[in-house]
Amino acid sequence: MNKTYFIGDIHGNFRPLIFYVIHQKQLHDCYVFACGDIGMGFHKLNYYVDEFNRMNKKLSQHNIQLCLIRGNHDNPIFFTSETPLDVYYSNIHFIKDYEILTINNHNILCIGGATSVDRIYRTENKTWWSKESVQEYDRNIVNENNSMLLDSVDIVVSHSAPMFVSPKYERISWMSDDDDIRAKNDRLILSNVYFDICKNLKYWFHGHFHMHYETYVPNDGFTEHEKALLTNGSMIMENEYDHGCKFVCLDMLEGMSGKIDLYEI
């Protein structure tokens, strides 16, 4: 398999996703990464078992491996070794936070999570989860769990994005103080990941913001002063650079229309 594709938020639209990648795009012999907000946890367990049984059968027929990253609209437990999905799927993979996958000559670091900024309108453990935010980054633990691959990572897949790429972080008027702190911290953590491993990065794919945006960010290193500016409101704008790591914000799957933002490498 020599093709890898990246898509944005699915939000539980499993059948439109399968219809799109198999029937419309006619993909086969490839990997497909979904950048969070899969929609895990909003239905009873049997619903997901039935859906994934159907999905896995179709994906296996076309030799497509589907890799799922957790978003804020996902119960984190599905992306751990304690997952309630006590079923093995040959072609569907729930990726753990900070897991590194070696695929098609790429080392891909996967970072799930984000904060639901509308938690005040949601119900804990039903439509939002206490551990939904981006987990703290510790390069020693990541390296220990991934056979020292961290310095050779050339692609990152996440749900949210670093502070310095679009869209600019702004507090929404109705957000609580706690949500504001959590959401900002998500992006600061991802910023620090970039500063730490950016030297060999070629791509960073993410979703979450329901838009499409592409930005090149230099990966030649940053001074401490530059890092401070970039984590305190300074932005790297589209077309400001023409080289470095390419950030791609992927739009969401639009309901039942079958339209999806797909990026191929």
What number of other Cβ atoms are within 10 A of residue 242's Cβ?
Answer: 6
Q: Is the dihedral of CA 76, 81, 86, 90 positive or negative?
A: positive
Structural domains of the chain, ranges and CATH numbers in brackets: 3-264 (3.60.21.10)
Residue 257 pLDDT exceeds 60: no
pLDDT tens-digit series, residues 31-70: 999 999 999 999 999 999 999 999 999 999 999 999 999 9
What integer pLDDT is reported at residue 220 of this predicted model?
A: 83
Among residues 127, 128, 109, 17, the alpha carbon closest in space to that of 69 is found at 109
Q: How confident is the model at residue 150 (pLDDT cuts 50, 70, 90)?
A: very high
pLDDT tens, residue by residue, 204-218:
999 999 999 999 999
Tell me what pLDDT residue 146 has: 86
Long-range contacts of 17-21 (CB under 8 A, 24+ apart): 17/253, 17/260, 18/54, 18/55, 18/58, 18/59, 19/258, 20/253, 20/258, 20/259, 20/260, 20/262, 21/64, 21/260, 21/262
**What band does 258 get if pLDDT is binned at 50, 70 and 90?**
low
pLDDT at 195: 96
Collect all residues with Cβ–Cβ distance below 8 Å to 216 and sequence separation of at least 6. 236, 240, 241, 242, 243, 244, 245, 246, 247
Cβ pair 161, 73 in contact under 8 A: no
Predicted confidence (pLDDT) at residue 243 exceeds the cutoff of 60:
yes
State pTM to two decimals.
0.96
> What is the pLDDT at residue 123?
92
| Percent of the chain topping pLDDT 70 | 98
